[in-house]
Amino acid sequence: MTAPGTLYGLGLGPGDPELITLKALRLLRAAPVVAYPAPTGGASFARSIVSEFLSAGQLELRVDVPMNPDPQFALKAYEVGAAAIAEHLVAGRDVALLCQGDPFFYGSFMYLFGLLASRFRIEVVPGVSSVMAAAAATGVPLVCRDDVMTVVPATLSSDELEKRLESASGIAILKLGRHFSKVRDVLDNLGLLERARYVERASLPEQRMLPVRDVDPASVPYFSMILVHRRQDPWASEET
Residues that bind a copy of itself (CB under 8 A): 11, 13-14, 16-23, 25-26, 71, 75, 102-107, 110-111, 113-114, 117, 122, 124-129, 132-133, 135-136, 139-153, 155-156, 163-164, 167, 203, 233-235
Task: Give the nearer residue to a copy of itself in terms of CB position, either 34 or 133.
Answer: 133
Task: Give the nearer residue to a copy of itself in terms of CB position, either 20 or 228.
Answer: 20
Task: Give the nearer residue to a copy of itself in terms of CB position, either 34 or 116.
Answer: 116
The bridge status of strand 121-125 relative to strand 196-200 is: unpaired
What is the smallest separation between the CB atom of 17 and a copy of itself, expressed in angstroms?
A: 8
What is the smallest separation between the CB atom of 59 and a copy of itself, expressed in angstroms?
A: 25
Task: Give the nearer residue to a copy of itself in terms of CB position, either 24 or 220.
Answer: 24
What is the smallest separation between the CB atom of 10 and a copy of itself, expressed in angstroms?
A: 11
What is the smallest separation between the CB atom of 1 and a copy of itself, expressed in angstroms?
A: 25
In the three-class reduction of DSSP (H, G, I as helix; E, B as strand; rest coil), residue 58 is classed as: coil
Would you say 164 and 171 are in contact if contact means Cβ atoms under 8 Å apart? no
Task: Give the nearer residue to a copy of itself in terms of CB position, either 43 or 144.
Answer: 144
Q: How far is CA 150 from CA 74, 104, 126, 180, in A?
A: 28, 16, 20, 18
What is the smallest separation between the CB atom of 228 and a copy of itself, expressed in angstroms?
A: 13
Q: For residues 177 and 33, give the distance between their C-alpha atoms in angstroms, rounded to a whole number.
A: 33
Task: Give the nearer residue to a copy of itself in terms of CB position, either 1 or 132.
Answer: 132
Task: Give the nearer residue to a copy of itself in terms of CB position, either 18 or 206.
Answer: 18
Would you say 162 and 212 are in contact if contact means Cβ atoms under 8 Å apart? no
Q: For residues 63 and 187, give the distance between their C-alpha atoms in angstroms, rounded to a whole number.
A: 37
Q: What is the largest CA-CA distance in the chain?
A: 64
Would you say 168 and 239 are in contact if contact means Cβ atoms under 8 Å apart? no
| Residue 103 DSSP one-character state | T
Q: For residues 61 and 238, give the distance between their C-alpha atoms in angstroms, rounded to a whole number.
A: 50
In the three-class reduction of DSSP (H, G, I as helix; E, B as strand; rest coil), residue 97 is classed as: strand
What is the smallest separation between the CB atom of 216 and a copy of itself, expressed in angstroms?
A: 25
What is the smallest separation between the CB atom of 120 and a copy of itself, expressed in angstroms?
A: 12
Amino acid at 63: V
Strand partners, 60: 34
